[in-house]
Amino acid sequence: MGGKWKPLIIYHLMTGRKRTSELRRLIPDITQKMLTTQLRGLEKDEIVQRKVYSEVPPKVEYELTDYGWGLKPALDHLCYWGEEHLEKVHGDKSKVLEEFDSPER
């Protein structure tokens, strides 16, 4: 579960199944190559599962496995800790949270 991207990917998958393009929109600073690499690693570790639909154009979605959902309590604690310490790092906590929750992300 190392690296800076995997927790973010898992966080976004906790709101439901996502296509790669949705994850790219939600995590704009990640490159396509890095996202693909991270998703493959999470799939290999059985934290996410990849669902391929037999249609044209191809459709692929990712979702958390039951094993992956086991990370929710740990991520909840990390999110809580992060929110509590935002002001120390970024100053205006409400502005950062608003930016993170904006529909453009």
Note down the domain range covering 36: 6-101
β-bridge partners, 51: 61
Query: How confident is the model at residue 105, as a pLDDT?
Result: 47
Task: Tell me what the mean pLDDT of segment 72-78 comes to.
Answer: 91
The CATH number of the domain where 12 resides is what?
A: 1.10.10.10
Q: Does residue 94 lie within any of the structural domains?
A: yes
What pLDDT, in 10s, does the model give residues 6-56?
Answer: 999 999 999 999 999 999 999 999 999 999 999 999 999 999 999 999 999
The verdict on residue 54 lying in a domain is yes
Asked whether residue 27 is domain-assigned, the answer is yes
**Residue 1 to residues 15, 46, 49, 71, 89: CA-CA distances in angstroms?**
19, 11, 15, 10, 24
Residue 1 lies in a domain: no
Q: Of 9, 2, 11, 5, nearest to 80 (Cα)?
A: 11
Total of domains in the chain: 1
Copy the structure tokens of residue 93.
């906590």
Token pair listed for 92: 């205006």
- pTM, entire model: 0.79
Whether residue 95 lies inside any domain: the answer is: yes
Contacts (Cβ under 8 Å, ≥6 apart) of 38: 3, 5, 6, 9, 30
pLDDT at site 92: 67
**81 found inside a domain:** yes
Give the per-residue pLDDT at 90. 67
Cβ proximity of 3 and 35 under 8 Å: no
Mean pLDDT for 88-102 is 64
